[in-house]
Structure 1
Amino acid sequence: MTTAETPQPIDVQDVMAEVRARVRADVRARLVRSGATEFGDEAVFRAAEQLLLDALTRRDRARLLLPELLDDEDDWRVDPSLRLASHRPIAGRLIVWLKQTVMLPVTRWLYDYSRENFARQERLNFVLMACVQQLAVENARLAARLADREHDGSGGEGPA
C-alpha cells in the first residue's frame, strides 16, 4: 500500500520575492533595450528604483520642503476652478445664470475629466518633488563628505 505524500507548504513571501525579482529584471531589460543604458548596471537600477520608491512614500506635503520654498501655492498646485462670476453690474446675473443653466451641464463632463487628470498630475508633482528632495539630501550629504575629506587633507585620493 502506498502512502500519499503530504505536500510541503509553499512560502508565499518567497514566491512573491521571486515574482518581484523577475518583474524587476524584465523592466530593467526593457529599459536597457529602449536606450536607458545606465540601467545596464543592476546596482544603478536598484539605487534609482529605491530612490523613486522612497519618493512615493513621501507624498505627504507636510514632509516636503520644496512646496514651502515656492512663493505661491497657486504656482505649483493644480486646482481647476468652476467659479462663475461676472464683472457686469446689470447683465452679469443673467450671464452667470445662463452659464450655470445652459453651458455648465453641457460642459460638465469636460470639467470632471479635467479634474481627474489634474488630480493625477498633482500626485505626480508631489512624487517628483519628493524625488528632487531626496536627491538634494543625498547631494548635500555627499558634498559634506567631500568637504570633510578635503579638510582632512586626504584630497579625495584612495577608495571611497
Structure 2
Amino acid sequence: MRTYMANKQTRERRWYVIDASGKTLGRLATQIADILRGKRKPEYTPHVDVGDFVIVVNAEKVAVTGRKREQKIYYRHSGYPGGLRQRTLAEQLEQQPEEVIRLAVRGMLPRNRLARQQLRKLKIYRGPEHPHEAQRPEPLEVEA
C-alpha cells in the first residue's frame, strides 16, 4: 500500500459562495480557512494547495458577539515614525468590511508561503453581488 499525495495535476478545484449575513465572524473564518486549505477533502495533503476557491458576499452584515465592535482594535503602521493608526471593529466594518473577514481568515492559516497562496483564493465582497458567475460557484451553508 502506498501513501497517496495530491499534486497540481491531480487536484480538483471547486468554487463556493458563502453568505456572511448574520454569521459569527470567528466561526465563519475557521470554516473558510478549512475550505481554503482543503481540509474537508479526503485527498488533503498538508504541503500541497488542494483547497477550493471561496467567495464571501454580504461581508458588511457579519455578526460579532459581546462588545467587540467597540473594544476590538485593528492596527496598521505606515512605516514612518508616529505612523501607527488604529480603528475599532465598528469603524473597520463601516469602511472596509472585506478586510475584517480577510484578517480573521489570515490569522487562522499557517504562517508560510503556502498560506499566502491559499489566501489568494479568497474573494470577499461587501454586498450580495460578485463577478464570478462564470465559475458557477455552489452555495455553501456554514454552521453559525
Taking structure 2 as the reference length, what is the TM-score of the superposition? 0.25
Flag the structure with higher strand content. 2
Q: Higher relative contact order by CA 8 Å / sep ≥ 6: 1 or 2?
A: 2
Larger CA Rg, structure 1 vs 2? 1
Q: Give me the TM-score of the superposition, normalised by structure 1.
A: 0.23
